[in-house]
Amino acid sequence: MSTEPDASLVKIRGLHFSHGKRPVFKGVDINIQRGKVTAIMGPSGTGKTTLLRLIGGQLHPDAGTVEVDGYQVPSLPRGELYALRRRMGMLFQTGALLTDLSVFDNVAFPLREHTRLSETMIRDLVLIKLQAVGLRCARHLMPSELSGGMARRVALARAIALDPMMIMYDEPFTGQDPISMGTLVQLIRLLNDALGLTSIIVSHDVQETASISDYIYILSGGRVVEHGTPGQINRSGSAAVKQFMEGLPDGPVPFHYPGRDYAEDLLSAEQGTSAKGLRRLFRRRTGREAA
Ligand SMILES: Nc1ncnc2c1ncn2[C@@H]1O[C@H](COP(=O)(O)OP(=O)(O)OP(=O)(O)O)[C@@H](O)[C@H]1O
């Protein structure tokens, strides 16, 4: 019997998923605790963005369950899925502000779109959200007048406009200078605690993300290879975890995307050349002897 059924906002069990013929998840179990900041980390292409899309119901698992706040996401009728999605804020790497709208109107957009609140109420709410990210006085600016860090903070204010129960961040720090990265890192933690949110962060910025996370999952090769508090992860004896946390280019996770042999690939473009010629060509290009 589970001792903490209500503590988990997101429960993923036995998740299998493939993009076409490419398997991404081969049996993944994840618990996202309410009120906590949980990081999902792992090498590039391991399926972190795919996982967020499965949680948001944009993708369907091949097998297993994805439960959010007690709802089985893949089997929700469209109307209920949209209602659930409105309670899940999303912050993408690009920020994706509407370029023709001011900062104020960008934050007001979801409120105008999804509620029937009066403009006076909307104004108050927008100012509260902008105040929370430190940009109340920048509300008249257009997106083209913002720095990258400011744009991301506006996107964050917009993501919390509808008071979501959780926010999913996909690479929120990419391309930020150290100061705006530091600001964003602290802001994510602050908003999580002040607004009683649940936050999921997908990020390659291992140390920064770990510094504000309560719990970390590390994915690799279609599975969870480690999970625990930042302290537990740092003490992990797993070679894959060590490779990832220390940013080593090669290890249990190979540097090269799987595919056919290098020599075979190079030589296949030179059909018609003699075997001797092909061997010479391979030696010249790689400095190695063809097998
Ligand atoms: N729409 C798609 N169609 C086919 N394959 C896809 C699609 N989206 C992603 N993939 C593949 O699925 C795998 C997981 O991709 P995903 O973007 O989820 O990884 P990621 O861990 O978020 O990567 P990164 O850290 O580089 O952003 C990759 O091998 C990718 O090439």
**ipTM given for this complex:** 0.94
CB 53 within 8 A of CB 19: no
Computed from CA positions of residues 84, 35, 168, 30, in that sequence, does the dihedral angle turn out positive or negative?
A: negative
Tally the C-alpha atoms within 13 A of residue 91's C-alpha that lie toward its C-beta.
29
Tokens of 85: 């999605």
Which residues contact ligand 1 via a Cβ below 6 A?
19-20, 22, 24, 44-50
What pLDDT is attached to residue 1? 44
Atom of ligand 1 nearest to the CA of 257: 29
Q: 18, 22, 92, 200: which to mutate for ligand 1, most atoms within 8 A of CB?
A: 22
Q: What is the mean pLDDT of the chain?
A: 86
Q: Whose CA is nearest to atom 4 of ligand 1?
A: 19
What pLDDT is attached to residue 4? 46
Tokens of 209: 């993300």
Q: Report the separation in Å between the CA atom of 124 and the middle of ligand 1, taken as the mean of its atom positions.
A: 39
Q: Whose CA is nearest to atom 1 of ligand 1?
A: 19
What pLDDT is attached to residue 246? 76
What pLDDT is attached to residue 80? 94
Q: Is 32 exposed, middle or buried (0-12, 13-18, 19+ CB in 10 A)?
A: buried
- Whether 2 has a pLDDT exceeding 60, the answer reads no
Q: Report the separation in Å between the CA atom of 33 and the middle of ligand 1, taken as the mean of its atom positions.
A: 25
Q: Report the separation in Å between the CA atom of 269 and the middle of ligand 1, taken as the mean of its atom positions.
A: 28
* Residue tagged 């493939």 (tokens): 18
Q: 17, 19, 21, 28: which to mutate for ligand 1, most atoms within 8 A of CB?
A: 19
d(C-alpha 89, C-alpha 130), whole Å: 16
Q: pLDDT tens digits, residue range 212-235?
A: 999 999 998 899 999 999 999 988
Query: Residues of 212-238 as b/e, b for ≥16 C-beta within 10 angstroms?
Result: bbebbbbbbebbbbbbeebeebeebee
Q: pLDDT tens digits, residue range 99-118?
A: 999 999 999 999 999 899 99
d(C-alpha 133, C-alpha 120), whole Å: 21
Q: Whose CA is nearest to atom 6 of ligand 1?
A: 19
**Predicted TM-score (pTM) of this structure:** 0.82
- Whether 67 has a pLDDT exceeding 70, the answer reads yes
Q: pLDDT tens digits, residue range 123-156?
A: 999 999 999 888 988 899 999 999 888 898 999 9
From residue 137, give the alpha-carbon distance in Å to each of 6, 217, 232, 270.
Answer: 40, 38, 42, 63
Q: Are strands 198-202 and 22-33 parallel, antiparallel or unpaired?
A: unpaired
Q: Whose CA is nearest to atom 10 of ligand 1?
A: 19
Name the residue ranges covered by the structural domains of the chain: 5-87+164-245, 260-291
Q: Whose CA is nearest to atom 7 of ligand 1?
A: 19
- Please report the DSSP string for 208-277 in residue order: HHHHH-SEEEEEETTEEEEEE-HHHHHT---HHHHHHHTT-SSSSS-SSPS-S-HHHHHHHTTTTS-HHH
Q: Report the separation in Å between the CA atom of 119 and the middle of ligand 1, taken as the mean of its atom positions.
A: 41
d(C-alpha 290, C-alpha 267), whole Å: 10
Mean pLDDT calculated for residue range 77-88: 92
d(C-alpha 90, C-alpha 133), whole Å: 16
Q: pLDDT tens digits, residue range 178-215?
A: 888 888 899 999 999 999 999 999 998 888 899 999 99
Fold of 5-87+164-245: Rossmann fold (3.40.50)
